[in-house]
Amino acid sequence: MQEFHRKIRSFVRREGRMTAGQTLAYESMMPDYGFEFNKQLLNFEKLFGNNNPVTLEIGFGMGASLAEQAANYPELNFIGIEVHRPGVGSLLARMKEREVTNIRVISYDAIDVLEHMIEDNSLAKLQLFFPDPWHKTRHHKRRIVKSEFARQVHQKLQDNGVLHMATDWENYAQHMLAVMQQEAGWTNLSATDDYVPKPDDRPVTKFQKRGERLGHGVWDLMFKKDTPHV
Ligand SMILES: C[S@@+](CC[C@H](N)C(=O)[O-])C[C@H]1O[C@@H](n2cnc3c(N)ncnc32)[C@H](O)[C@@H]1O
C-alpha cells in the first residue's frame, strides 16, 4: 500500500468572508502590491524598485502592525505573508489608507514561500508576531517554531540578520527559547540570555494589549545570525 505523507501545517484554513472594503482593496491593490506563489526566486530589486533592506513577516493577521511599521520605516522594504485572505484584504486597505507603498504581499503558506521564493542570505530580518500557539499538547506539532523552521530562517537571513518573535503565551515563549538554544549559528540579543524588552519598532497590537490586560505578559525574542568564521 502506498504511504501518504501529508505535511503538517501551522494553520487551518478558515476562509471566512471578506468585507466589502477588504474585497475592494484586494481587487484594486493586489495587481500592484501582491505576488503569486511559484517556484522561482524573487528578485527584490525588481519587486520593490529599489535595494532597501527587506524584512519578511510571517502571519501578519489583519495587518495592523505591519502597515504601521512600514509607514514608520519608509526606508525599509517589507514582505508580508498571510494565508488568511480577509487579513490580506485588511492589510491592503490599511496600506491604501496610510499611503504605504513599501510592502509586497502574498497569501500562501510561508514555509513554501521561504523555501521556493526567497534567496539564501537575502533577508535583513524575519518577524513572527503572535503565531498561533496551538495550546493543546497534541497540537504542539503544528507550532511553526521548531528546529526545522529555525534552520530555514537561518539559511534565508543575511549575516547579522535578525529573527524577531513575540508571543503572549508563556509556554510558547519557553518553547521558542528552547528551540533556539539548541541551534548553532545564532546569538541571543537578550542581555539575560532569554527575552528582550519590546523593541520600539514592533507596534503595539491587540495581542500585546490582551497580554497586558490579562496580566500574563508578552515575550519578545531576538536572535542574530552569526557571521561565519573564515
Ligand atoms: C494568532 S494570528 C496573529 C496575527 C498577527 N501577527 C497579530 O499579531 O495580530 C497568527 C496568524 O498566522 C497565520 N499563519 C499561520 N501559519 C502560517 C503560515 N504557515 N503561513 C502564513 N500565515 C500563517 C494565521 O493565518 C494567522 O492569521
pLDDT digits (tens, 9 = 90+) for 37-69: 999 999 999 999 999 999 999 999 999 999 999
Q: Determine the angle formed by the axes of helices 85-98 and 64-72, rounding to 10 degrees.
A: 30
CB 166 within 8 A of CB 57: no
Please choose from 11, 55, 112, 202 the residue to mutate so as to test ligand 1's pocket, defined by most ligand atoms within 8 A of CB. 11
In 3D space, the residue among 179, 181, 103, 115 whose CA is nearest the CA of residue 153 turns out to be 115
Q: What is the number of H-type helices and E-type strands within the chain?
A: 8, 7
Q: Give the SS3 label for residue 144.
A: coil
Residues in the chain: 230
Question: In terms of CATH architecture, what is 50-225?
Answer: 3-Layer(aba) Sandwich (3.40)
- Among all chains, which residue has been given the C-alpha cell 525574542? 221
Q: Which three cell numbers stand for residue 223?
A: 536572535
- Give the C-alpha separation, 40 to 75, whole Å: 26
Question: Measured from the CA of 81, which atom of ligand 1 is nearest?
Answer: 21
Question: Measured from the CA of 208, which atom of ligand 1 is nearest?
Answer: 8
Instruction: Using the predicted structure, report yes or no on whether residue 1 has a pLDDT greater than 50.
Output: no
- Give the C-alpha separation, 40 to 137, whole Å: 36
- Give the C-alpha separation, 196 to 21, whole Å: 37
Between 45 and 204, the higher pLDDT residue? 45
49 - beta bridge partners? none
Longest dimension (CA), the chain: 56
CB 210 within 8 A of CB 168: yes
Does residue 132 carry a catalytic annotation? yes
- Give the C-alpha separation, 122 to 109, whole Å: 19
Give kind and range of the element (H or E) at residue 186.
Answer: strand 186-188
**Which amino acid, residue 59?**
G
Protein residues whose CB sits closer than 6 Å to any atom of ligand 1: 10-11, 58-61, 65, 81-84, 87, 109-111, 129-132, 144, 205, 207
- pLDDT above 70 covers a percentage of the chain that reads 97
Q: What is the pLDDT of residue 13?
A: 77
Between 36 and 216, the higher pLDDT residue? 36
Q: What is the pLDDT of residue 4?
A: 54
Q: What is the pLDDT of residue 12?
A: 84
